[in-house]
């Protein structure tokens, strides 16, 4: 246990160091506006990828409606600051709560479905959320909600990302997390061992949705405007690509894939069609040749590097 706590502190220290370096580079203008935008996007994509991985990768419930929860977080958060003039932190928490509550309400009935039926139901629900928002004049309907203050900056995104990753990592390493993994491995066996499968499926779904809400709120407060067209199921497929590329069941995989794909789409910003063709070929190629994704369900850690150097895995522990 103490070793684990020590390792957590070490990672936290590394995160703080990384934060200090990037923040310094932004302050002295080495990193320009364009790259700040991409760093913010990377953070948001990491939150979305890791939270979707909790549902798809760790609990094995194939959801492709994540953009819907992001939309709820974005709109609830934006309403908090634009209409009610509340502070930003309240907006983020409200976005998380809104998406989480909706995730719970949706998850409870739909998680009875499995496999491809669940996939198509979540896809449909994501679209229903978007169409509903489209028809609410209070939040601007089809033209979107405008005039959102830009409150998101690198600091907010960075610490929200670190919090998300630590929260989900610790959740997975807890008894709840192990129950979720058991549901993925074999639902019937898990049930026979006394795991309340419905409870854990809904729990994972709710947590995943809540963090998607956080990402949505951050997203809304960076781009001044939220628009229903930003949250179509294409967005969900983007997120799915992150999770699948990184490996279903690997947090570090999702982080790497989020960074990689954000850079790829930044590089291909001028050719949006090309980007989607590359994404699609990557999805097909991955499934044909490396269905477990870049990292499978392994994590990169110090242990992993030690093994690369030829040391035994026990040395690091």
Partner 1 sequence: MDSSSFLMQFAQQLINGVSLGSIYALIALGYTMVYGTIKLINFAHGDVYMVGAYIGFFATTVLGLGFLPALLLAMVGAGILGMFIERAAYRPLRNAPKIAVLITAIGVSLFLEYGSMLLVTPQPRTFPAVLSSTPIHIGGLIINSQQVLILGVSLFLMVVLTYVVNYTKLGKAMRAVSFDTDTARLMGIDVDKVISYTFAVGSALAAAAGVLVGVYYNSIDPLMGIMPGLKAFVAAVLGGIGVIPGAMLGGVLMGVIEALVSGFISSTFRDAAAFGILIIILLFKPAGLLGKNIREKV
Partner residues linked to 226 by β-bridges: 145
Nearer to partner 1, 30 or 142 (CB): 142
- Burial (0-12, 13-18, 19+ Cβ within 10 Å), 192: exposed
Nearer to partner 1, 102 or 165 (CB): 102
Q: Give the Cα separation of 124 and 227 in Å (integer).
A: 19
> 153 near 221, Cβ under 8 Å?
no
Nearer to partner 1, 11 or 232 (CB): 232
The footprint of partner 1 on this chain (CB under 8 A) covers a number of residues equal to 40
Beta carbons within 8 Å of 281's beta carbon, 6+ residues apart: none
> 125 near 67, Cβ under 8 Å?
no
Minimum distance of partner 1 from residue 39's CB (angstroms): 26
Nearer to partner 1, 97 or 278 (CB): 278
Measured in degrees and rounded to the nearest 5, phi and psi for residue 145 equal -95, 120
Q: Is there binding between residue 131 and partner 1 (CB under 8 A)?
A: yes
Nearer to partner 1, 29 or 273 (CB): 273
Q: Is there binding between residue 110 and partner 1 (CB under 8 A)?
A: yes
DSSP 8-class letter at 192:
H
> 213 near 71, Cβ under 8 Å?
no
Q: Is there binding between residue 283 and partner 1 (CB under 8 A)?
A: yes
The helix/strand/coil state of 145 is strand
Whole-angstrom CA distances from 217 to 71, 82, 92 are: 8, 12, 5
Q: Is there binding between residue 102 and partner 1 (CB under 8 A)?
A: no
The helix/strand/coil state of 226 is strand
Q: What is the CA radius of gyration of the chain?
A: 19
Minimum distance of partner 1 from residue 277's CB (angstroms): 5
For residues 156-195, which are near partner 1 according to CB under 8 A? 188
Among 240, 242, 251, 294, contact with partner 1 (rule: CB under 8 A): 240
Q: Is there binding between residue 6 and partner 1 (CB under 8 A)?
A: no
Nearer to partner 1, 110 or 164 (CB): 110
Q: Identify which range of 87-95, 145-153, 284-292, 309-317 contacts partner 1 by CB under 8 A.
A: 284-292
Minimum distance of partner 1 from residue 98's CB (angstroms): 19
Q: Is there binding between residue 312 and partner 1 (CB under 8 A)?
A: no
- The string of DSSP letters for 186-242 reads -HHHHHHTT--HHHHHHHHHHHHHHHHHHHHHHHHTTSS-B-GGGGSHHHHHHHHHH
Q: Is there binding between residue 123 and partner 1 (CB under 8 A)?
A: yes
Binding site for partner 1 (CB under 8 A): 62, 64, 109-110, 112-113, 115-117, 119-121, 123-125, 127-128, 131-132, 134-135, 188, 237, 240, 244, 248, 273-274, 276-277, 279-284, 286-288, 291
């Amino acid at each position: 246990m103490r070793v684990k706590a020590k390792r957590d502190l070490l990672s936290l220290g590394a995160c703080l160091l990384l934060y200090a370096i990037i923040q310094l580079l932004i302050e002295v203008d080495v990193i320009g506006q364009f790259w700040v935008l991409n760093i913010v996007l990377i953070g948001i994509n990491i939150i979305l990828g890791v939270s979707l991985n909790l549902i798809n990768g760790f609990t094995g419930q194939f959801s492709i409606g994540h953009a819907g929860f992001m939309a709820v977080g974005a709109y609830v958060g934006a309403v908090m600051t634009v209409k009610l003039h509340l502070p930003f932190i309240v907006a983020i928490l409200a976005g998380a709560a809104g998406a989480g509550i909706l995730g719970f309400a949706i998850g409870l009935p739909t998680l009875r479905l499995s496999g491809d039926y669940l996939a198509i139901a979540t896809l449909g629900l994501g679209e229903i959320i978007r169409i509903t928002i489209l028809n609410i004049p209070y939040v601007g309907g089809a033209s979107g909600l405008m005039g959102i203050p830009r409150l998101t900056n690198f600091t907010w995104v960075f610490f929200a990302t670190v919090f998300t990753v630590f929260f989900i990592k610790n959740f997975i390493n807890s008894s709840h997390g192990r129950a979720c993994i058991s549901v993925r491995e074999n639902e019937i066996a898990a049930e026979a061992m006394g795991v309340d499968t419905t409870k854990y499926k809904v729990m994972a779904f709710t947590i995943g949705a809540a963090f998607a809400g956080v990402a949505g709120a951050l997203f809304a407060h960076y781009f001044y405007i939220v628009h229903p067209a930003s949250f179509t199921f294409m967005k969900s497929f983007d997120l799915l690509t992150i999770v699948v590329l990184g490996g279903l069941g690997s947090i570090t995989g999702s982080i790497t894939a989020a960074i990689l794909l954000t850079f790829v789409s930044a590089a291909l910003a001028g050719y949006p069609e090309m980007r989607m063709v590359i994404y699609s070929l990557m999805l097909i190629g991955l499934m044909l040749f490396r269905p477990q994704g870049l990292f499978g369900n392994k994590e990169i850690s110090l242990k992993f590097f030690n093994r690369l150097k030829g040391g035994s895995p026990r040395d690091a522990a």
